[in-house]
Amino acid sequence: MRISAVETYVLKLPAEAAYLGALADGSPPARGYAVRPPYRSLYSDRYETLLVRVVAEDGTAGWGEALAPVAPEVPAQVIDLLLAPVLIGSDALSPRPNWTMLRELMRERGHLVGHQADALAAVDIALWDLAGRLTGRRVVDLLGGAFREQVPTYVSGLPRPDDAGRAELAERWAADGATSVKLHLGNGVAADLATIDAVRSAAPGLRLAVDAHWAYSVDDALRLADGLAERGCWFLEAPLAPEDLTGHAELVSRARLPVAVGETLRSRFEFAQWLAARGLRIAQPDVARTGITEAVTVGELCSAQHVPVAPHHSVGLGISLAAGLHLSASIADLTAFEYQPTSVAVGERILAGPLAVEPHSMSLPTGPGLGVEIDAEAVAALAKES
């Protein structure tokens, strides 16, 4: 069975609330792309993503998604111009050889990261979904079987602009059955610790983690880590500049709680360097940035170093969510999978039916491939509106 077509869909979906919620002063984010201080990266006021559909000769289709929250048109062009012409005519039942072939196209030019990696990830997810649908098997079973059918999750983000609002939201999540929450902070050591105290007071039973969004120096990150450890927190994510491997290794060696890193890393080669340098204690690959082939390999590298894995998930829609669930089910030493409530709700717009989601866990889909049915007409319509 050969691949006959590769199609891309750029989506930019409005929602009631933007990712990360309102700005610090309570106002909505600016239209389009803007920096949200204290963070340095561009953010969109919409949920942007790239979907790809890979079709076999008999009409069977597999779907993939890239984590492309800004300018998904760019990886779409990579697929249309560079990947699709090479992929058409290839064996539809060979996701790993196809992945290797596509990865090699620009490898010696340094393109194992960035938009090329995003494009590769989307295509790779679609190839695994297609292989599963053609054989009638789930992706996790093609990967060797599931360690669990119920994937533990943590609620990511309390998107309110002040501590009172975050505390109120944490209390509601705890009442709904959540057991763990990660806060998106990076507002200064004293402010971050004050937020933790407010949330802990409102919901003392929640296990708390902090995503610092790469905001700190080594010294300030150590101060924050000490304060979080004293408060019995779970982990500290993305504390330093993402390229500072040496600084992360120093922080890991001195911090009294685990340091989590991985959403910016795209390949086994990058993760191998970080693992060898002991620059992380929890690995956070995002399957919509690595693809399934690479994410499973990263999981095995982590296993060899006795580093647990907590797959990252942010603004991806239902396809990347399903892929993340299959990845999470395939990993022996899984910490938990990230649950972004708003993006999960927005992501259901492209699905024929919702996934089974609870604040503390998600059920692994049972159908062939990724196990989710995509509403192709809805996707086409949303792409035209974007």
Q: What is the CATH number of the domain that holds 255?
A: 3.20.20.120
Whether 124 and 206 map to the same domain: the answer is no
- Find, among 239, 259, 325, the residue nearest to 287 by Cα: 325
User: Are 255 and 316 members of one domain?
Assistant: yes
Report how far residue 183's alpha carbon sits from residue 133's, in angstroms, rounded to the nearest whole number.
37
Q: How many domains does the chain have?
A: 2
At 345-380, the pLDDT tens digits run 999 999 998 898 989 999 999 999 999 999 999 999
Q: Identify whether residues 136 and 223 lie together within a single domain.
A: no
Residue 82 DSSP code: I
> Whole-model pTM?
0.96
Domain identity same for 24 and 48: yes
- My answer on whether 124 and 160 are in the same domain is no
Q: What is the pLDDT of residue 152?
A: 97
| Residue whose token pair is 């304060």 | 227
The verdict on 105 and 225 lying in the same domain is: no
325 and 368 together in one domain: yes
Instruction: Write phi, then psi, for 102 (nearest 5 degrees).
Output: -70, -40
Are 158 and 296 found together in one domain? yes
Determine the pLDDT at residue 21: 76
pLDDT at 23: 79
Residue 181 phi/psi, 5° resolution?
A: -140, 140
Q: What is the pLDDT of residues 36-64, one digit of tens each?
A: 888 888 888 899 999 999 999 999 999 99
CATH number of the domain residue 46 falls in: 3.30.390.10
For 74-92, the pLDDT digits (tens) are: 999 999 999 999 999 999 9
Residues 128 and 166 both lie in one domain = no
Asked if residue 181 and residue 270 are part of one domain, the reply reads yes
Tens digits of residue pLDDT in 229-258: 999 999 999 999 999 999 999 999 999 999
Whole domain around residue 347: which residue ranges? 142-374
Same-domain pairing of 129 and 155: no
- Which range is least confidently modeled, 19-23, 266-270, 343-347? 19-23
